[in-house]
Every structure is written in C-alpha cells, then in structure tokens.
Amino acid sequence: MSISHYLQQFQPHIHHLFSHALTQKKWSHAYLLSGQKGTPLKEIAIYLAKSLVCEHGQPLADDTCQTCRRIDAGDFVDLHVIDGQEASIKKQDILNLEQSFSVTSLEIFQRQIYILHLVETMTPEAVNALLKFLEEPQQDIYAILTTESVHSLLPTILSRSQVVTLKPIEQSRLVDLYQQAGLNEDDAQLASFFYTTPELAKAWVSTSSYVALKKATMEWLSLMGQKVSVMKLYFRQNIIPLIQDNTLAEQWFSWMIVFLQQSLRLQFHQKVVLKNFRSALLLLNDTVIDHDVLVTLTEETIHRLRLPVNVPLLLDQWLIRFTKGMRLL
Ligand SMILES: [Zn+2]
C-alpha cells in the first residue's frame, strides 16, 4: 500500500490538511507529525517532503516523477533526513544541517527540506540548537519533525511547529487488512498491536527472529501451571538465547504486556484481539496472581533497557520476579 493510499484510506484528515496547504500556499515552516509506535511516520514525512517538490503534484506527490524517484533513491540534495531511530539526534547534526542550508538551494525548486525523525531522541543540546533554528524561520526552508512520544517533548518545540496527529486505527480493521495482505491469523492478530501498515507488519513477521521467538514463547506459555523449575529452565534454554539485543528484548517484553492485558480482558469477558491465543490467555488467568503487578514489572524492565544493560541478565532477573507472581508448583 502506497503512503498516498494509506493517507487517503486511514488518515484522510492529514491528506486533506496537506493538500489544502499546498493549493492554498499555506504550508507551515515546521510540522510535527505525532503518532503511536508502529505508524509509518518517517514514510509519511518523506512523502510530504516529496509533495513540496513534486513535478506533477496532484496536489500531493505523484510518486512517479523524476524528483519523487530521486527522493526515494536518497539522491535529492535539498532533502536532509536525520533518523533518531538509528542514533539519538545530536547538536552537531543540527549544526551540520544549518551549515548545509546556508548554501543556496541546488535544485530547481528552491525549497530545502529537513526531516527529523523521532525528535524525542534529541539530546538537550540538540533541542536548543533546533529551537534557535525554528525561531527564525527562513523562507523556503521547511521542517518536518516526527514523534512517537509527543507528551515527552518540550512545550517550546510544540509551540514552534504545527502539530499533526495521526489517528489510531481500529485494531480489528488492521487484523483484516493484514490477512488480506497474506499474513496468517496468528501473525495478523499479534502484529496489530505493534504496526499500523501491512508492509511494516509483513516485514516484522517474516524476520527469522520473530518466527523463532513466537514459537518458543508459545511453548513457554503452554508450560504455565507446571513446576516453576520447568518454566525457568525452558526460558533460559530457549528464549534468552534468541533475544540478542535491546530492541528485540523491548519487543518481546511488549508481547508479554499484550498477553497479560489481553488475558485480563478475557477474565472480565471483554473482547480480545488475540482470539487465536485463547488457550494461552486462559492459562495465564489460571496462573497469574495479579496481572497489574506483572505488567508494572515488565514496564519497569523495558525502562531499564534504555540504559546500558546486560540483556540476558536482565531477562533472567525478570524471569525470577515474573514467576514469583504466579501460582506455580
Ligand atoms: Zn512527483
């Protein structure tokens, strides 16, 4: 699904807002795209950048002209993308950006654009440098910022940009969409918690780490109700070795939170999304003493992953505390 199509279908207010901004020549100097984790923020930011310089905008980018294709290929000198997903955005990144803008536009459109993806990862020094930059908007320089954590941003950033919020998409709609895109039911249900486009969902479930981890996790959950030593042994032998880095660990802990929250819904006879995982959810309800305690424990563990930690050790510490919150033999 193209981003243009995605915006029309799922975020029509955004499609309308930017179409209007272009036709009325009211494009702001800085936008901040805010969306939940899993929304294609960077892809939308790039699409909007294309729309500013597209040769045959309608009015948004057509995705097919030479300029659009050059942007897709990362070969358009007047677009700068700094990706906070890869590493936190530093002061020097912002200074380099300003430096490159002091040179006159090299392309025929005379519009220079920068994208700062995930501004919540900026260091305080970088934020200060950016604020100065945003304070004195220059003609024909356009900023598109993105965030998955709008509440953690300084009000000064919010006040200097126009905040555009992506709507959360109803989960049952996502599950259907993912199945139409070729995912099986299990994967579609799981992915609907973490991704909001079929492409992202598909990319995720086709990684070998996902496949192995899902299998091991389901086996591990099926051991609930058995001896605590059995559960611990299985976890240490089959799950810890699969979780090599912080990103994967964060993802896996997020699954656990989803499982706990879904099982709690089931206990209170509320609708669940993980319909295919009903037996695991029921087992959790039989075994867990207090769901909230384990959710909090897992959230705290995710928080600790943001610091330099030994991931296998952290997983082991979590395991010990997690199993204490269960009725096990
Ligand atoms: Zn184009």
Last residue of a domain, one of 165, 186, 215: 165
Last residue of a domain, one of 104, 138, 165: 165
226 φ, ψ to 5°? -90, -170
34 φ, ψ to 5°? -115, 130
What distance in angstroms lies between residue 49's CA and the mean position of ligand 1's atoms?
10
At 142, which CATH number? 3.40.50.300
What distance in angstroms lies between residue 250's CA and the mean position of ligand 1's atoms?
38
- Answer yes or no: do 106 and 251 share one domain: no
Residue position matching structure tokens 């510490």: 317
What distance in angstroms lies between residue 112's CA and the mean position of ligand 1's atoms?
16
Spatial CA neighbour of 301 closest among 315, 320, 290, 288: 315
Q: Is residue 192 part of a domain?
A: no
- Answer yes or no: do 287 and 232 share one domain: yes
For the question of whether the overall pTM of this predicted structure is more than 0.85, the answer is: no
- Answer yes or no: do 23 and 112 share one domain: yes
Rg (CA), the chain: 23
What distance in angstroms lies between residue 8's CA and the mean position of ligand 1's atoms?
17
What distance in angstroms lies between residue 61's CA and the mean position of ligand 1's atoms?
5
Over the chain (329 residues), the average pLDDT of each successive run of 10 is 90 96 95 91 97 95 96 93 92 92 71 95 94 85 96 92 92 92 96 91 94 96 90 97 93 96 94 96 94 96 92 97 88
- Answer yes or no: do 13 and 78 share one domain: yes
What distance in angstroms lies between residue 70's CA and the mean position of ligand 1's atoms?
9
What distance in angstroms lies between residue 196's CA and the mean position of ligand 1's atoms?
25
What distance in angstroms lies between residue 234's CA and the mean position of ligand 1's atoms?
53
Confidence at residue 125, expressed as pLDDT on a 0 to 100 scale = 94
**In contact, 97 and 114? CB cutoff 8 Å:** yes
- Answer yes or no: do 131 and 15 share one domain: yes
Confidence at residue 103, expressed as pLDDT on a 0 to 100 scale = 72
What distance in angstroms lies between residue 64's CA and the mean position of ligand 1's atoms?
5
Length of the chain, in residues: 329
Last residue of a domain, one of 138, 165, 192: 165
What range defines the domain where residue 295 resides?
207-324
Q: Is residue 100 part of a domain?
A: yes
Cα 167 to Cα 39, 107, 118, 198, 199: the distances in Å are: 10, 34, 17, 16, 18
What distance in angstroms lies between residue 251's CA and the mean position of ligand 1's atoms?
36
Confidence at residue 104, expressed as pLDDT on a 0 to 100 scale = 66
- Answer yes or no: do 256 and 306 share one domain: yes
Structurally, how many domains does the chain consist of?
2
Amino acid, res. 210: Y
